[in-house]
Amino acid sequence: MKNVDDLISSAAELAEQGLSKGEIADELNVSRETASWLVERSETTPTATPQETGGPHDIHVDWSALGRDSTRLSFAGKSMADLLSKQGEDVDLTIGIEKAGAPLATSVARELDTDLGTYAPSKHQWEEGDIDELGGTFSRNFAEIRDRDCYVVDDTITSGTTMSETVEAIREEGGEPVACCVLVDKQGVEEIEGVPVYSLLRVIRVGDGD
């Protein structure tokens, strides 16, 4: 995707496929507010730039060059595993945040020789309103928490809400998140809920975008 119009078109296609706005945000690596704006813009013509319509200030991250190639993805996973490798001697579980965090977590788990679990965040059900009213789930097809120390892996931190939710969900299951790792951190956070965050790339916005 090369511009905002491409994002609007992609949002429209995903909405037509029945994805929630939260899932669209996940697919396009943007905030929920940006996803809502993109879907709303797709329903009007002609398209306009965010500056012309008072749209959200956000950063779209396209890492499909990694995601579409298993070798490149494995190299990214190895780099993330290297960031995490010295963060806990007793960690034997890696939790991937669905959807995009799951394949990355698979690579990380293989490199660090841990079990693999996945978590589907509440934003996948989100359309409008308070996301706190929804709840995420751990997949029963993968490893259980069982009071274990674990790593948390995702592709992108946009607002930090999903990572924070995942950390809290792990603790509710009796587990202890030791460290989090992402490809890209759009917030530049050092920790979330007391858990250190590591990223391959950290985006720092300069100016207010006006």
pLDDT at 48: 47
Q: What is the mean pLDDT of residues 149-178?
A: 95
Q: Which structure tokens are listed for 163?
A: 């990572």
Assign 15 a pLDDT band (cuts: 50, 70, 90).
confident
Q: What is the mean pLDDT of residues 13-35?
A: 79
Q: What is the mean pLDDT of residues 102-128?
A: 88
Its pTM stands at 0.78
In the predicted model, is pLDDT for residue 47 greater than 50?
A: no
Q: Which domains does the chain have, with CATH numbers?
A: 4-50 (1.10.10), 65-202 (3.40.50.2020)
144: left (phi over 0), alpha (psi -120 to 50) or beta: beta
Q: Which of the given ranges, 54-63, 73-82, 125-134, 185-194, has the highest pLDDT on average?
A: 73-82
pLDDT at 74: 95
Mean pLDDT, the chain, integer:
85
In the predicted model, is pLDDT for residue 64 greater than 80?
A: yes
Assign 51 a pLDDT band (cuts: 50, 70, 90).
very low
DSSP secondary structure, the chain, as one string: --SHHHHHHHHHHHHHTT--HHHHHHHHT--HHHHHHHHHHHTSSS---HHHHT---------HHHHT-HHHHHHHHHHHHHHHTTS-TT--EEEEETTTHHHHHHHHHHHHT-EEEEEE-GGGG-SSS-GGGS--EE-TTS---TT-EEEEEEEEESSSHHHHHHHHHHHHTT-EEEEEEEEEESS--SEETTEEEEEEEE----S---
Q: Is 21 or 50 the better-scoring residue by pLDDT?
A: 21
